[in-house]
Structure 1
Amino acid sequence: MKEATMNPAPAAEAMVPDPQARIPRQIRYIIGNEGCERFSFYGMRNILTVFLVSSLLTYLPEGDRATAAKDVFHTFVIGVYFFPLLGGWLADRFFGKYNTIFWLSLVYCLGHACLALFESNRTGFYTGLALIALGSGGIKPCVAAFVGDQFDQTNKHRAKVVFDAFYWIINFGSFFASLLMPIFLRSYGGSVAFGIPGALMFIATVILWIGRRRYVMVPPAPPNPHSFLNVSRTA
């Protein structure tokens, strides 16, 4: 019987950059998701302090409102930049990037809903801010990395074009959110002004979900027996 042999040439050829390679089609879903998400975040953030001073914190003496509003705002921002640690760990260790982004996006949507529904209730409003900090911060380290996962050696030279578009859509969303949402707050009040970013975040989540069968999904890493925690536990 003639012995079968493995020919590595096709695999090797497949890994050579292809000048004609196209941008992966699923990228459009991630970029659309990012544009809507950034609009929702900056739209909410840019009216937060004004709303706190003019509406939610009116029970305080007028001279104390600005300071209290800044405290709330900075606490919220601290949460947004703390929770990437949690989101990155969950994605790498347990759920993978897509699942982490999707489920934390639902938390994000719930937070926006709390802001719109509890505009005059401090407990409900602060709960909404906490959920948005968790959702926005948790997905922060995952989205750009998820874009990178969609490329292989044949089309990685196209990644620069995609990341240029990725960061352009971030600036596009943040610019128009900063421009429009203060107008909505003045004209229609907090419920509508916070509801619109919530609607955009819901649309962002739906866009991400639509592309779910097309993404390249890198599984989470297996447990590392030599991790610091395991070594400390057995020491």
Structure 2
Amino acid sequence: MPRYRTAPLATSQMPPGIPYIVVNEAAERFSYYGMRAILVVFMTQYLADSMGRPDPMTPDEAKGWFHLFVSAVYLTPVLGALLADGVGGKYRTIVTLSLVYCLGHFVLALDTTRIGLLMGQTLIALGAGGIKPCVSAHMGDQFGATNQHLLSRAFSWFYFAINLGAFTSMLATPYLLHHQGPAVAFAVPGVLMALATLTFWSGRYQYAHIPPQGFGFIRQVFSGEGLQLLGKLSLIYLFVAMFWALFDQTGSSWVLQAQQMDRKLWGYEILPSQIQAANPLLILLLVPLFSYGIYPYLARIVKLTPLRKISAGMFVTVLAFALSAWLQMRIDAGQSPHIAWQLLAYLILTSAEVMVSITCLEFSYTQAPNAMKSFVMAFFMMSVAAGNLFTSAVNFFIQNPDGTSKLEGAEYFWFFTTTMLVTALMFLLVVRWYREKTHIQPEIPLERL
């Protein structure tokens, strides 16, 4: 039986394991975003009690639970990172937790009560969150100094795969929920997750398997360099968290807003949950546009550091939510604006995502010491958790006992728009202060294989 390679190859070509990782990511993201796309509609329309009677949540309650779940998905990466960097290695951690992930999907498919919802979401949060920092760090581990220049391209393909899977699932699962019911709508993402796991396992002999560091990992984390790095990155991620507080509302408040809009497009009435598919479709178009057009053009005018890209993305996010607030003002006046306006908001917000999320993903990997790659990726993902916890807390807090809200209509969207603007202005100070330091895995020469 062939032995696993424990270091990246010294080659100028793309590493051989990358296609398996990218295809796995596309299928896994189909499973996650397909399930996530229908959660709010499921909780407000399809949830039942143990006797099969309707037991739906209120809109504010559903938004609160939605963002609480998303925050859990982005907190469990810490557990996955500890297992990967300290104990079992990234590959073994990914395969094991992927099986837990599959189980969560099938629990949702079999039980439509609040208990089933809680059990399924718990398993998915453990599986999906646990593998998150490991998959992206495992992909980065395939590169050495010789092909380091291809790392940005690989992360772009990685993000492309994420959004290809998300786009198809955000169209398919709302359709399945509407026409086939929740059992089929949740089972299909489970099947895709099983295929993702099989694909990843198939590439096991093509990967560089970086061994876990054990106590070396703990020493690195608590060393002066490790603690200083985590402190610096934590400050960055604290600001990035507010981006996620707004961005992930495409799965909650923007879906509920879409229900109140004219959704007929080219003679077809789009389901409210399907509007979310605009985001991954736009990612597929905007990633190459930014990579090969906008960024090279701007680089001739100003030095484009990762933090400057992130800062610009934050201000673009303000514009996107200001547009959604304006739309809600029109809805509050008894009008029914066309869904094309929300699609424009998606275009603006997705441009911000390209500048913030993709940049922060690569930035996190390169800034992390080699023994802490998964752990730092988990730290980045905690910014998503923090942002969603903030949004969840706001939605639970604004609920009045009589079912009304403290932030009615457009006030809700203007609150988040203003908060994002303050965050973006304060982040400008951080951009001036932070100093970057890149870390890449050591490689082995081809002639030694």
Q: Same fold (TM over 0.5)?
A: yes
Question: What SS does the aligned partner of 1:25 have?
Answer: coil
Question: What SS does the aligned partner of 1:221 have?
Answer: coil
Shift of 1:61: 7.4
The whole-number CA distance in structure 2 between the counterparts of 1:223 and 1:29 is 30
151-160 or 127-136: bigger deviation: 151-160
The whole-number CA distance in structure 1 between the counterparts of 2:209 and 2:55 is 53
% identity of equivalent residues: 48
The whole-number CA distance in structure 2 between the counterparts of 1:71 and 1:160 is 35
Q: For structure 1, list consecutive stretches of 5 or more residues without a partner in the other structure.
A: 1-13, 229-235
Shift of 1:150: 1.1
Matched, 1:93 2:86: yes
Root-mean-square deviation over aligned CA pairs:
2.2
Question: What SS does the aligned partner of 1:218 have?
Answer: coil
Q: For structure 2, list consecutive stretches of 5 or more residues without a partner in the other structure.
A: 1-8, 223-449
Normalised TM-score (structure 1): 0.82
Letter in 1 for 2:105: H
Matched, 1:38 2:16: no
Letter in 2 for 1:103: T
Normalised TM-score (structure 2): 0.44
Kindly tell me: are residues 188 and 61 of structure 1, through their superposed partners in 2, closer, same or farther at Cα, counting changes over 3 Å? closer
Letter in 2 for 1:101: I
Partner of 1:5 in structure 2?
A: none
Partner of 1:107 in structure 2?
A: 100
Contact 1:57–1:65 (CA under 8 A) maintained in structure 2: no
Kindly tell me: are residues 61 and 91 of structure 1, through their superposed partners in 2, closer, same or farther at Cα, counting changes over 3 Å? closer
The whole-number CA distance in structure 1 between the counterparts of 2:154 and 2:75 is 27
Kindly tell me: are residues 87 and 70 of structure 1, through their superposed partners in 2, closer, same or farther at Cα, counting changes over 3 Å? same
The whole-number CA distance in structure 1 between the counterparts of 2:214 and 2:45 is 50
1:105-163 Cα distance to aligned partner (Å, 9 max, x none): 111001001011112x3322310110001111111111111011112222222222222
Partner of 2:75 in structure 1?
A: 82
Kindly tell me: are residues 61 and 146 of structure 1, through their superposed partners in 2, closer, same or farther at Cα, counting changes over 3 Å? closer
Within 5 A, what are the aligned runs for 1:129-148?
129-148=121-140
Question: What SS does the aligned partner of 1:99 have?
Answer: helix
Question: What SS does the aligned partner of 1:167 have?
Answer: helix
Letter in 1 for 2:34: G
Contact 2:47–2:54 (CA under 8 A) maintained in structure 1: no
The whole-number CA distance in structure 1 between the counterparts of 2:54 and 2:62 is 11
Within 5 A, what are the aligned runs for 1:70-219?
70-119=63-112, 121-219=113-211
Question: What SS does the aligned partner of 1:92 have?
Answer: helix
Letter in 2 for 1:70: K
Question: What SS does the aligned partner of 2:205 have?
Answer: coil
Shift of 1:24: 1.7
Shift of 1:184: 0.9
Contact 1:87–1:138 (CA under 8 A) maintained in structure 2: yes
Number of residue-to-residue matches in the alignment: 210
1:20-70 Cα distance to aligned partner (Å, 9 max, x none): x321221111000000011110000010110111111576777x5323322
Name the structure, 1 or 2, with higher relative contact order (CA <8 Å, separation 6+): 1
